[in-house]
């Protein structure tokens, strides 16, 4: 009851306590009850047993933009909404970096695609070789794919109809983090 309005605080405290309880084969479950669990023999084992998604994201050095947009959803274990907010962060950043309005594939095309001119609004490399142009096109396609796979369905489907596992959430947030890292070095080629 005391964490009803602050589930993220419960998760933080639960993770910290579980890391210590793992040494005696116990853990605090999501109902707040102490239960039997795997027993750790080493510090690494204890951390692995108790590691939360938040800790794994820190271990993976997830880009700060990803965390800025969805850390509350991650702490609340709202995977559906964390994927939605994370993917929206890319589109928001593209708008901010280019001044281009719009959304989805249209925004990605305006910001990252080579188009007929061969010059995007934002280039992630020098675009001098075919490999570099292919890399630019690949990033644009990846962003469109993330939007189509995670942002669009979560915006239209009810949360109850879509389940996102811990592993899938980590995969999505890692991909979004990689996109943000590529955008860190992007520049206007003109």
Query: What distance in Å separates the CA atoms of residue 182 and residue 150, rounded to the nearest whole number?
Result: 20
Tens-place pLDDT, residues 99-124: 999 999 999 999 999 988 889 999 99
User: Looking at the chain, how many residues does it have?
Assistant: 190
**In the predicted model, is pLDDT for residue 159 greater than 70?**
no
> Among 49, 51, 52, 50, which residue's Cα sits nearest to residue 79?
52
Average pLDDT for 162-172: 89
Query: What distance in Å separates the CA atoms of residue 6 and residue 43, rounded to the nearest whole number?
Result: 29
Tens-place pLDDT, residues 14-61: 777 877 777 788 778 778 888 887 777 877 766 665 567 877 888 899
Contact (Cβ atoms closer than 8 angstroms) between residue 81 and residue 74: no
Q: What is the pLDDT of residue 156?
A: 61
CA atoms within 13 A on the CB side of 31: 3
> Among 119, 118, 121, which residue's Cα sits nearest to residue 93?
121
How far, in whole angstroms, is CA 4 from its chain's centroid? 25
Q: What is the pLDDT of residue 48?
A: 61
Q: Of 51-55, 77-81, 91-95, 137-141, which gets the smallest average pLDDT?
A: 51-55
Q: What is the pLDDT of residue 46?
A: 67
pTM of the model: 0.75
Mean pLDDT of the chain: 86
pLDDT band for 160, please (50, 70, 90 cuts).
low
> In this prediction, what percent of the chain has a pLDDT beyond 70?
90
């Amino acid at each position: 009851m005391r964490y009803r309005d602050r589930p993220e605080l419960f998760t933080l405290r639960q993770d910290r306590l579980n890391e210590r309880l793992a040494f005696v084969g116990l853990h605090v479950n999501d109902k707040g009850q102490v239960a039997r669990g795997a027993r750790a023999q080493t510090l690494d084992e204890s951390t692995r047993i108790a590691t939360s998604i938040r800790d794994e994201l820190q271990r993976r050095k997830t880009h700060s933009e990803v965390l800025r947009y969805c850390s509350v959803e991650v702490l609340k274990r709202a995977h559906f909404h964390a994927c939605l907010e994370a993917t929206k962060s890319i589109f928001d950043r593209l708008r901010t970096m280019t001044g281009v309005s719009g959304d989805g594939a249209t925004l990605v095309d305006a910001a990252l695609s080579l188009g007929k001119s061969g010059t995007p609004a934002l280039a992630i490399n020098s675009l001098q070789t075919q490999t570099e142009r292919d890399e630019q096109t690949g990033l644009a396609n990846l962003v469109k794919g993330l939007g189509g796979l995670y942002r669009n369905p979560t915006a239209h489907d009810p949360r109850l109809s879509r389940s996102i596992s811990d592993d899938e959430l980590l995969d999505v947030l890692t991909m979004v983090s990689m996109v943000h890292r590529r955008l860190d070095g992007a520049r206007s080629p003109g």
